Structure 1
Amino acid sequence: MRAFTRKLSAAMLLCASLSGVTTMSYADTPNPNAPVSMVGTWDKTFAESTKVDHRKVTFRNRYGITLVGDLYLPKDRGDRKLAAIAVSGPFGAVKEQSSGLYAQTLAEKGFVTLAFDPSYTGESGGYPRNVASPDINTEDFSAAVDFLGLQREVDRHKIGLLGLCGWSGMALNDAAMDTRVKAVATSVMYDMSRAMGHGVGDGKDRYSTVDRRAVLHYLNEQRWKDAENGTFAPGGHDIYVDDKGNVTASARILPETLPANPNPVLKEFFDYYRMPRGFHARSVNSTGAWTATTPLSFMTMPLLSYAKEITIPALVVTGEKAHSRYFAEDAYQALGSKEKELVIVPGANHVDLYDNAAGKIPFATFEQFFKTNLK
């Protein structure tokens, strides 16, 4: 007998589903691939740097979805063509949060950087809203490489990727496929295929094969409901499989207020996404919900299937106390590169490396890695 309750929700704390979310209909938008918005004012969760130039940009992926990004350039760049880095993540965040902070900081170090919203999220196009795909979101990174390589300030032979949290797996997957990428780095990696397909809890996988089949059955029953209703129901990621194989789910993950003695991981995410520290209205994790069936493709499409074919320089950074640490360590072992480095940040938990609130993001390490390998 299985003596404990298994939960997908430990992985999906990243995919916070909050109150006030309505179902979505394809007919709600006249052009599903167009940008949702292009906010011109500074609306980031971090302060604007005086050392870089910033401009809002758009570009399309090969599925025709228009992505919206923030391009950061060093003010002292002159006429030189510079190395460039495409940045995205965490899973369910927007470019106004962690990826923008990483991008702006690395631009201060001399790189052209692009923080972008993946398809179906933030200001980028794609419908239904708030859905993720291991294929399309990997393609988003290649589309960012397309864009960067066309900029007059960029040396297209010196482009790298940086994936944060759940977008680390997309970055590594793209590095295995896109031969134009010369170096790849990750920060507090989450392998979303593994997280959704096998569950996360106590630093290890939690689902048995029986559990996986129960979750798949539950999600495919939801497909019938969506097809009948003509909508894409939100939430459903707080999925429980009990000892008898019964599945229950809730559309809500992060509460309005923390309970007494909250789970430490819950508190980490709540303190970032739901508090002024990291809250952003366009972030799925702060205010919305993923579509209920989002896990399906991740469950049978492992992102790191070709990790051995990644032979470019790779940097894997995680926190000593991060609940996600095992994802990073296993990914590091799987990489085929002979020039790879695993950095464990002392005392850092997962969310510490989102916004540097405790001064723990090793920006100097990222800077040195990209300067060494994008030359």
Structure 2
Amino acid sequence: MNVLPKKLSAIASALLLGAALTGVSTMSHAQSADPTAPISMVTQWDKTFAQSSKVEHRKVSFKNRYGITLVADLYLPKHRGNSKLAALAVSGPFGAVKEQSSGLYAQTLAERGFITLAFDPSYTGESGGQPRDVASPDINTEDFSAAVDFLGLQPEVDRNRIGLLGICGWGGMALNAAAMDTRVAAVATSVMYDMSRAMGHGVGAGKDRYSTADRRAVLKYLNEQRWKDAQSGSIAHSNHDIYVDGNGQVTAAARTLPEVLPENPHPVLKEFFDYYRLPRGFHPRSVNSASAWTTTMPLSFMNMPLLSYAGEINIPTLIVTGEKAHSRYFAEDAFKAVGSKHKELVIVPGANHVDLYDNDAGKIPFDKFTQFFQTNLQ
């Protein structure tokens, strides 16, 4: 399975390398009579990480500006006293759920004194929205602001001390929200992806990969799929990559994620497989672990650049990435684009992209995140 052909497609580059590896093409969630309602609110602990005895955990829900109900885990430090605390809204990676990486970040930072909220974005996990398994640069940016709404109404939270933390593709969403939402006091990202750039221009070895002709060919393919969806009355889910050949022709090739890795797998494939498909990080509600995005999902990202107003971000900004992360150039370029005079880029020595999803390798710089938010959410 060659996961790095010469010309990656929007779906191959953004979903395969952007942490949306999956081999299931059908919807895994039941349709709801109310398309905005939550899919579920599981109360028992079903995370991919152990529950902390230092933190109080509550399952909560709230609506975004589009009326979609988001489901989240609220983490509060025990023995927090009566003072209002700083709070963090956390989400990501792209195609993951709050029971995976974002929940680990949220619980760990709650142990360190913050009130944290790890939420499932619209259309994924337990959150509402139909059809399932859709992402949107607008709606998912709004999800972060809706999380700020919720946090600011909690009696334990100081609404003037709210920050955002986005992981992988939700790093770009967090920066986009920070550029727009003046209530956010500080923003941080971890191994961030700019999903508009990834889907619209292709993920390469430290640079974009698409020519204009490649991009137009992919757009044509996706819009042809719109005809098929309209005619069938259902939304197709993708179980293939789109490849653009040297003549600008688009073809679809099966890419069912194998139950076992092939011999000599590409390192990026192995990173994602080892997290999403093995007990280390597998979760049945995760798009990346057990479902698939809608085939036409990349369209809005290809036409709506997420970081257009990064230069207007004027709050403290921390961008963390791995020295060996294939996504490193997204972080470095975003750091350059951010307008804040109080910004910092941290490169974690020896870390690849997925090393910063969980702390199996001990590489997540939680001390740095803690220091950053303590300093800037005073």
TM-score after normalising by structure 1: 0.96
Structure 2 residue matching 1:343: 3-state secondary structure: strand
Count of equivalent residues = 370
Structure 1 residue matching 2:223: 3-state secondary structure: helix
Structure 2 residue matching 1:55: 3-state secondary structure: strand
Say whether 1:44 aligns with 2:57: no
Q: Decide which of 294, 299, 304 is 1:296's aligned counterpart.
A: 299
Contact 1:16 1:252 in 2 (8 A): no
Aligned-pair distance for 1:256?
A: 2.1
Aligned counterparts of 2:301 and 2:135: Cα–Cα separation in 1: 9
Give 1:222's aligned residue. Answer: 225
Contact 2:26 2:291 in 1 (8 A): no
Say whether 1:138 aligns with 2:141: yes
Q: Decide which of 171, 175, 180 is 1:177's aligned counterpart.
A: 180
Give 1:371's aligned residue. Answer: 374
The change in CA–CA distance for 1:154 and 1:69 in structure 2 (over 3 A counts) is same
Structure 1 residue matching 2:293: 3-state secondary structure: coil
Give 2:264's aligned residue. Answer: 261
Say whether 1:60 aligns with 2:63: yes
Gaps of 5+ in 1: none
1:112-261 alignment runs, 5 A limit:
112-235=115-238, 238-250=241-253, 252=255, 254-261=257-264
Give 1:85's aligned residue. Answer: 88
Give 2:26's aligned residue. Answer: 22
1:329-368 alignment runs, 5 A limit:
329-368=332-371
Give 1:278's aligned residue. Answer: 281
Aligned-pair distance for 1:237?
A: 5.6
Aligned counterparts of 1:252 and 1:264: Cα–Cα separation in 2: 16
Give 2:7's aligned residue. Answer: 6
Aligned-pair distance for 1:249?
A: 2.2
Letter paired with 1:87 = V
Give 2:76's aligned residue. Answer: 73
Contact 2:28 2:291 in 1 (8 A): no
Aligned counterparts of 1:28 and 1:343: Cα–Cα separation in 2: 42
- Output one character per residue of 1:325-348: Cα deviation in whole Å (capped at 9) or x when no partner: 000000000000000000000000
Contact 1:235 1:252 in 2 (8 A): no
Aligned-pair distance for 1:130?
A: 0.2
Structure 1 residue matching 2:275: 3-state secondary structure: helix
Gaps of 5+ in 2: none
Contact 1:315 1:342 in 2 (8 A): yes
Contact 1:131 1:290 in 2 (8 A): yes
Q: Percent identity?
A: 77
The change in CA–CA distance for 1:322 and 1:60 in structure 2 (over 3 A counts) is same
Structure 1 residue matching 2:242: 3-state secondary structure: strand
Contact 1:37 1:124 in 2 (8 A): yes
Contact 1:5 1:240 in 2 (8 A): no
Aligned counterparts of 2:228 and 2:343: Cα–Cα separation in 1: 46
Contact 2:96 2:288 in 1 (8 A): yes
Structure 2 residue matching 1:200: 3-state secondary structure: coil
Structure 1 residue matching 2:185: 3-state secondary structure: strand
Letter paired with 2:167 = L
Structure 2 residue matching 1:53: 3-state secondary structure: strand
Structure 2 residue matching 1:158: 3-state secondary structure: strand
Contact 2:73 2:103 in 1 (8 A): yes
Letter paired with 1:101 = L
- Output one character per residue of 1:62-117: Cα deviation in whole Å (capped at 9) or x when no partner: 10000000000000111110000000000000000000000000000000000000
Say whether 1:32 aligns with 2:35: yes
Contact 1:202 1:323 in 2 (8 A): yes
Letter paired with 2:281 = G
Letter paired with 1:5 = K
Aligned-pair distance for 1:253?
A: 5.0
Aligned counterparts of 2:284 and 2:255: Cα–Cα separation in 1: 17
Contact 1:52 1:73 in 2 (8 A): yes
Aligned counterparts of 1:253 and 1:79: Cα–Cα separation in 2: 52
Aligned-pair distance for 1:23?
A: 5.5
Structure 2 residue matching 1:193: 3-state secondary structure: helix
Aligned counterparts of 1:177 and 1:206: Cα–Cα separation in 2: 29
Letter paired with 1:278 = G
Letter paired with 2:21 = A
Contact 1:72 1:103 in 2 (8 A): yes
TM-score after normalising by structure 2: 0.96
Aligned counterparts of 2:232 and 2:250: Cα–Cα separation in 1: 22
Contact 2:195 2:301 in 1 (8 A): yes
Aligned-pair distance for 1:239?
A: 1.3
Contact 2:188 2:317 in 1 (8 A): yes
